[in-house]
Amino acid sequence: MTGKRMERGLCELYDEDPERADALVFGRRSGTSRRGFLQGAGLASMGAVLGASIPFNENMPAGLIPSALADDLEDFEIEGKHPGLTVLNDRPVNAETPPHLLDDDVTPNDIHFIRNNGAMPQPMAKEEWSLTIDGEVEEELELSWDQLMNDFEHVTLKLQLECGGNGRAGFNPSPSGNQWTVGAIGNSEWTGVRLKDILERAGLRPSATYTGHYGYDPHLSGDADREAISRGGPIDKMMDPHTIVAFAMNGEDIPIANGYPVRLIAPGWAGSVSQKWLTRIWVRDREHDGPGMTGLSYRVPRYPVAPGTEVPHEDMMVMSSMIVKSIISHPEAGTEVEAGRPVEVRGQAWAGDDHVTAMEVSLDFGVTWQQAELSDPPNRYSWQRWRAEVTPPMQGYYEIWARATDGNGRQQPMVVPGWNPRGYLNNVCHRIDVMAV
């Protein structure tokens, strides 16, 4: 298998189309039964994967993922990451953070979500790393690790980083891609160099319009001539003093899963703009057209469309700022609380390039709302802590809903917002269930 098919893990393949998964994973020819396929090369292939023969193979239902493989995926752990993360895919590795683990103002390294498009690379030694700045610049640069450390001012900022597809699981019909719920978000403390300072050192030509970013992560096909992903952003965003070339996460080396040794952080925009394993920034005189910038990738319709609509590529536009959103991090969904007594509710809120100006919670399915306390961010592009108390009046099942409003008066909707082909920008109110006893 090569190319697009390799971007899908076994769980996703078998969940969506078990018999097709047999064909892709074990080589069964289309139109043949599993019984027939298991008598030939397919049986040998499956036995090789399992490490043993299958005595009762004739009884295996079509499309049944072998338990040994299913167990391996269920026990799949990511080195250096909290075992409580939810793994959405094993190839490429993608994992989100359950909301109750996002209760810290600063997201710990082992809690931060992972979004990969290519294979996880082998770590590059710092002394081997370099960053090329080329294209529409007066002087092409190739910065070494020592130059990054010594030639530019360092800044440390708490910055939100969110996958553009965070919330995709809420759309119906379900768009393709990892089915993120609400946990593809983190707010770590990043240390690095302003990209603005680097670009000014290179000298931007008047023609400089956009950037294209490149990393050293390999394409899933193994083809060295193909990029796993290469996105970019307009020069104005890249010159924002909060857009940094980061080399530390919470005061430590960046974990390999999050971009070691150096990555870009363009806060408030889809996380794919914040290239991991960064090695090159190509300054361009036009919108970048690398993998992840064209077709439907990280694009939304220019006009509202009905669910399931096929939208022409020319009617899609590149995403920019993320939108207002919040999560409930305490209590954990499914918690038992005491009827008639106040329950502390708290969480985080953010709004892309904007900031959050109000938070509200509801205990009656959105009929009435009460104001929550909202903290100011420590710096621009950090999420904001909020808290409130709600009191279930009697025993029974309750849902706590949270709703944020940004500086332009835009508010989280109570239902999933307008559909788009790739399931981006779902900012429906987060809700959790509690049982009052």
pLDDT digits (tens, 9 = 90+) for 182-234: 999 999 999 999 999 999 999 999 999 999 999 999 998 888 899 999 999 99
User: Is residue 346 within 8 Å of 103, Cβ to Cβ?
Assistant: yes
Is residue 86 a part of any domain in this protein?
no
Same domain, 257 and 384: no
Q: Which of 269, 302, 309, 275 is nearest to 291 (CA)?
A: 275
Is residue 102 a part of any domain in this protein?
no
Is residue 109 a part of any domain in this protein?
no
User: Is residue 95 within 8 Å of 114, Cβ to Cβ?
Assistant: yes
Is residue 104 a part of any domain in this protein?
no
Q: What is the predicted pLDDT for the residue at 237?
A: 98
Q: In the numeric block, which tokens belong to residue 272?
A: 């794919």
Q: Which of 235, 112, 185 is nearest to 382 (CA)?
A: 185
Same domain, 293 and 183: yes
Tens-level pLDDT at each residue, the chain (437 residues): 233 323 345 555 555 555 566 665 555 444 444 444 444 555 565 555 555 555 556 655 555 555 555 545 455 678 889 999 999 888 788 999 999 999 999 999 999 999 999 999 999 999 999 999 999 999 999 999 999 999 999 999 999 999 999 999 999 998 988 999 999 999 999 999 999 999 999 999 999 999 999 999 999 888 889 999 999 999 999 999 999 999 999 999 999 999 999 999 999 999 999 999 999 999 999 999 999 999 999 999 999 999 999 999 999 999 999 999 999 999 999 999 999 999 999 999 999 999 999 999 999 999 999 999 999 999 999 999 999 999 999 999 999 999 999 999 999 999 999 999 999 999 999 999 999 99
Same domain, 52 and 16: yes
- What is the spatial distance between Cα 232 and Cα 310, in angstroms, rounded to a whole number? 25
Same domain, 235 and 298: yes
Pairing of strands 130-135, 278-284: parallel
Q: Which domain holds residue 262?
A: 114-318
Same domain, 250 and 369: no
Is residue 247 a part of any domain in this protein?
yes
Same domain, 234 and 250: yes
Question: Partners of 327 in the beta sheet?
Answer: 348
Same domain, 290 and 384: no
Give the phi and the psi of residue 130 in degrees, each rounded to 5. -150, 160
Same domain, 162 and 309: yes
Name the domain count of the chain.
3
Domain end point (choices 266, 284, 318)? 318
Q: Which of 104, 113, 102, 78 is nearest to 258 (CA)?
A: 113
Domain end point (choices 289, 318, 347)? 318
Judged by DSSP in three states, 342 sits in coil
Q: What is the CATH number of the domain that holds 253?
A: 3.90.420.10
- What is the spatial distance between Cα 212 and Cα 285, in angstroms, rounded to a whole number? 11
Q: What is the CATH number of the domain that holds 401?
A: 2.60.40.650
Q: Please, what is the Cα angle at 192 between 351 and 329, to 5 degrees?
A: 35
Domain end point (choices 318, 343, 367)? 318
Preceding amide of 413 cis, omega within 30? no
Same domain, 58 and 165: no
Same domain, 386 and 303: no
Q: What is the predicted pLDDT for the residue at 33?
A: 46
Same domain, 32 and 55: yes
Is residue 306 a part of any domain in this protein?
yes
Q: In the numeric block, which tokens belong to residue 74?
A: 């269920």
Q: Which of 389, 391, 357, 362 is nearest to 375 (CA)?
A: 357
User: Is residue 293 within 8 Å of 282, Cβ to Cβ?
Assistant: no
Instruction: Give every CB contact of residue 274 below 8 A, 6+ residues apart in sequence.
Output: 161, 263, 264, 265, 266, 267
Is residue 82 a part of any domain in this protein?
no
Q: Which of 372, 145, 183 is nearest to 260 (CA)?
A: 145
What secondary structure does DSSP assign to 148-163, as a single string?
Answer: HHHSS-EEEEEEEEE-
- What is the spatial distance between Cα 45 and Cα 337, in angstroms, rounded to a whole number? 52
Same domain, 312 and 342: no
Is residue 100 a part of any domain in this protein?
no
Q: In the numeric block, which tokens belong to residue 435?
A: 């049982």
